Structure formats: structure tokens, C-alpha cells
Amino acid sequence: MDSPLVIGNREFSCRLFVGTGKLPSSRLLPEIVKASGTQMITVALRRVNLSRPEENILSYIPEGVVVLPNTSGARNAEEAVRISRLAREAGCGNFVKIEIIHEMDYLMPDNEETIKATAILAKEGFVVLPYVMPDLIVAQKLVDAGAAAVMPLGSPIGSHRGLRTRDLIAMLIEKIDLPIVVDAGIGKPSHAAEAMEMGADAVLVNTAIATSVDPVAAARAFSLAVEAGRISYLTQKQQETLYAQASSPLSGLLSEEKL
């Protein structure tokens, strides 16, 4: 029996979070939510257009689903803080994903600025989910800064390369006492299952769903993969080993009863 994932006093039974940045139409969102069961949707505040309801992505997010605005476009902590405050003023709630990038080819997050922004925003009552390059020391500093979760990248945004940072993420899963949400690079449901199977608490998928030929079906596939990975994690907690281990152990043959 699994317990729900808790981030910022909100409980999530579905461990798939969905991004919206690259969707062909916001109108698909209700169907994506239905197909995936997702309870958290990220939106880039830079895309939120409050002046026209039909073009405002927020109006397509079903009630009860947590909106996670991100600070896409921020190049330093100061900008990320300002965008977060604007998001709260715009009615997006107090969850925020910190995304600070100032290199446009690989979109690598700036961990140092992210720690700074996290500290400021956590003090202001935000539920802060920082997107970072996986680094144990950085993650520990984020814990101290008041982060509500840590979002390490699997590989560069939109690259579909899967968990190229697997060993680094494993360190966070083992040592960090916050939910670990693997973000970026998850290109296939099998990548999502892999992240969950190794013990991640949730995954965030954007490009792979949004740019699929059928985003609704893709959302369903990712949801199933996340669930499978989670069940596998809960039931298969075994160490890998170089040596074979007999499925019918010899020790059974040598038990006292049989001697």
C-alpha cells in the first residue's frame, strides 16, 4: 500500500506532473488531465495571457489540479523572484518551479542562482520546487533554503535522452529528505518508469507528451509507466549483484527439517 506524495501540504496520488510549454493547443489540457490523472500542471508565466480568456492557458486547467507556474525566461535569482511574485499576483497560487537559465543551447539551470531564489521565495511562503543540475551538495543547500522538493534534470530539456544523470539522481534519492521529482529529458514512458523504479517520488514530462502525435494517448502511456515504476520500486527493493542468485536457494534444501 503506497502513501500519497506530499509537497507543500498538498497530497498527490498521481506521481506524473505534466508540462504545457510545447502543446499544440491548450484545449487539449482537460483531456490530458483525464487520461493521465495528473494533479499538477506546470505553466510558464511568460505564456499566461490574462488579457484574453480564450488564450489564457489557466482557464483550461481543470479545478483541483495544482498549477505550478515556472520562471522560464529568468536569467538570475532576481528575475526568478519577480516572476514568482507576479505569478502569485496573477492568481497562480503559491507553488512555483524555479527555472533559471542563461545559456540557450543546452538550457542548463544555474544552481547557484537557484539556491538564492529558493531561499528568498521560501521565506515569503512559496512552495518552491527548484529545477537543478543534480548535485548532492546543491540539493542539501536547497533543503536548508526551504525548498519543498528538488527537481533534478535527467538530461537536457527536450532532448529525450532519458536518465543520463542517473547516478547523480540516485545520490539525491538516497540522501535528500525531500521529494525528488525528475524533470527534463524524459522522452519515453520507459524513462519515466526507470526514474520511478529507482526511487524518484515523481516525474515531470513536457516535450514528450506535448509534441507526440497524440498527446492525450501519450499522457496515458506516461501515467501507466509512472505507476508501474512506482509499484516496482515498492516491491523490488533489491540490490544489484554481479553474482547469480539461485531462485530456489540451496539453503532451503539444507533446512533442519530435511536433514
Instruction: Check whether 207 is labelled as a binding-site residue.
Output: yes
- Beta carbon nearer to another protein, 105 or 240: 105
- Beta carbon nearer to another protein, 24 or 125: 24
Q: Report the residue from 38, 42, 207, 223 that binds another protein according to the rule CB under 8 A.
A: 207
Instruction: Check whether 165 is labelled as a binding-site residue.
Output: no
Q: Cα separation of 82 and 71, whole Å?
A: 9
Residues 98-117 interacting with another protein (rule: CB under 8 A): 102-105
Q: What is the CA radius of gyration of the chain?
A: 20
Q: Cα separation of 237 and 249, whole Å?
A: 19
Q: Where are the beta strands (DSSP E) in 82-158?
A: 95-98, 127-132, 151-152
Q: How far is the CB of 231 from another protein (least distance, A)?
A: 31
SS3 94: coil
What are residue 182's phi and psi, to 5 degrees?
-75, 125
- Examine residue 25 and tell whether it contacts another protein (CB under 8 A): yes
CA atoms within 13 A on the CB side of 218: 19
- Total of residues contacting another protein (CB under 8 A): 30
Cβ count within 10 A of residue 190 = 15
- Give me the catalytic one of 34, 97, 123, 141: 97
Cβ distance 152 to 182 under 8 Å? yes
**Is 237 one of the catalytic residues?**
no
- Beta carbon nearer to another protein, 86 or 168: 86
> Which residues does the annotation place in the binding site for 1-deoxy-D-xylulose 5-phosphate?
158, 184-185, 206-207
The residues annotated with a catalytic role in the active site are 97
Q: Give the residues lining the site for another protein (CB under 8 A).
A: 21-26, 45-49, 51-52, 55, 73, 75, 79, 82-83, 86, 102-105, 158-160, 207, 210-211
